[in-house]
Homo-oligomer: A and B are copies of this chain.
Amino acid sequence: MDGGTSFFGELLGSIAERGRALLDLGRERRSTGEARTASVAELCERLLSGQGEASGVALAQEILAAYAGLRSGERIAFFETLAQDFGPDAARLDKALAAYAAHPGARSVAEIHFASEPRRQELIRRFNLAPGATARLVAMRADLLGFLRRRPDLAEVDRDFVHLFASWFNRGFLVLRRIDWSTPANVLEKIIRYEAVHEIRDWNDLRARVDSPDRRCYAFFHPALVDEPLIFVEVALTRETPSAIAPILDTARTPLAPETARTAVFYSISNCQTGLGGVSFGNFLIKQVVAEISREFPNLKEFVTLSPVPGFRAWVEAQLADPASTVLTAEQRTALAGIEGTQAPEAAAREALRPVIETLAAHYFLIARSPKGKPVDPVARFHLGNGARLERLNPFGDLSARGMAQSYGLMVNYRYIAEDIEKNHEAFFDRGTIVASPQVRKLARAEETPKPPALREVAG
């Protein structure tokens, strides 16, 4: 019911006409990129003004259409304008700061907050008046993220996008939907496209992941982004905690009768929307899916991940390259030297390497820290931060070139135990503790002599 009509057509016509008059935009001027950006900026000013209220939907539509027509450089110019011209109302802010200085208090501090709000926040809210605007705004921010590396001066604009998106995409507005073989093809196609961890090769591979009795896939959706998954997770139902990814991805395997499964394995979590980077859903998704699957299969006892370790090999290679590093023994150095590129070693060689990888991995997870004092591994930061514990190290769990390149093939399991989640999370954030299973801690203990002061661990 929200499509365009001649009523909005006329309204838009009158806006455009008045726009040209007000803004004195002659044809020749419009033909240059600078003029185009300028004109979009002027439309933005009008959208923010009182006028914007009367014809906001139409104005927002026009601006988003204009933005879509801009070339890359013009888009950067558009974001520059947002940064420079749509910051806070300076006069109002000065007044608010003065009032606060004179009479500090709840009212004057609140006024500081509202006065210091960049005008672009309200502008972005008004962009969202147009039909279909939310998807376009998410795409707009994806553009911005692309520019951000070379243009750190646009970071404040990005911060405002993130602030708004965090509010709009609040978990309370998300809808969990199961993805299966009766899901529309246009959604499934996006699952194929967005799978970021273990590539889905084709529709048969997809089907094996969503349409087997022992597989499940769930995604979060937002009502304003129809048919666009935000994030999805792939789950395998198994008897045991798995130690390798290949058997799980094997399309020729015999499916397990799901009611006989003991374990639910989260073996892939992928974000779908670049433009929503920094807005976190994964934590909620995992917990919601645990709840969902528990209800369907009351016999499940364990909820674990089978996760990649994307920073491991780089970290080991940094130790190798650093003659001062005491992490590696000479034997370990020799052993690792036998690994050629991203070629998976033979079975025999793997057995020999296994203890080397395990020892190093225990150090990597439990002892090594980023400059900010966090675990080095980003996936570890995610799951440990969610309250999971590090359950098991699986050397050569992923023999693909990618797995070898990231982590010499190492995979790990994180485990979610309902009654420990809060405690683990708190230990991680308050005291930097890495909660690990006894078997992992034992590996670390074997390795460390003496125990470095940074290591703080608890029983999981």
Contact = CB atoms under 8 A, between A and B. Distances in A.
A379 interface: no
Nearest to A155: B107
Contacts of A5: 291-292, 294-295
Q: How many of these chains are in the complex?
A: 4
A106 B156 contact: yes
A181 B189 CA distance: 9
A88 B113 contact: yes
Given A176-B2, A387-B55, A426 B93 contact: no
A11 interface: yes
Contacts of A4: 291
B109 A87 contact: yes
A172 B128 contact: yes
Given A18-B422, A87-B109, A1 B54 contact: no
Interface string A270-291: 0000000000000110011011
Interface string A418-456: 111111111001100000000000000000000000000
Nearest to A59: B422
Interface in A114-128: 114, 116-118, 125, 128
A217 B183 CA distance: 19
A107 B156 contact: yes
Interface in A220-269: 223-224, 227
A348 to B, nearest CB: 40
B176 A421 contact: no
Contacts of A429: 50-51
Nearest to A106: B156
Interface stretch (A159-167, A324-332, A356-364): A159-167
Nearest to A187: B182
Interface residues of A, number: 97
B181 A186 contact: yes
B54 A11 contact: no
A370 interface: no
Given A113-B116, A182-B227, A167 B125 contact: yes
A55 B1 contact: no
Chain A binding site: helix, strand, loop or mixed by DSSP? helix
Contact of A54 (B113, B128, B188, B283): B283
A178 interface: yes
Given A5-B291, A10-B419, A129-B284, A184 B186 contact: no
B181 A185 contact: yes
B14 A418 contact: yes
Interface in A151-208: 153, 155-156, 159, 163-164, 166-168, 170-173, 175-178, 181-186, 188-189, 202-203, 207
A291 B181 contact: no
A299 to B, nearest CB: 12
A317 interface: no
A128 B171 contact: yes
A53 interface: yes
Contacts of A112: 93, 112, 116
Contacts of A163: 114
A310 interface: no
Nearest to A386: B54
Nearest to A113: B116
From A55, A87, A177, residue with most partner B Cβ within 10 Å: A55
Contact of A422 (B6, B55, B227, B420): B55
A344 interface: no
Given A93-B109, A118-B110, A51 B385 contact: no
A183 B182 contact: no
A14 B423 CA distance: 9
Contacts of A295: 5-6
A83 B105 CA distance: 11
Contacts of A177: 1
From A128, A175, A418, residue with most partner B Cβ within 10 Å: A418
Contacts of A113: 88, 113, 116-118
6 contacts: A50-B426, A54-B424, A107-B156, A109-B116, A173-B223, A183-B184
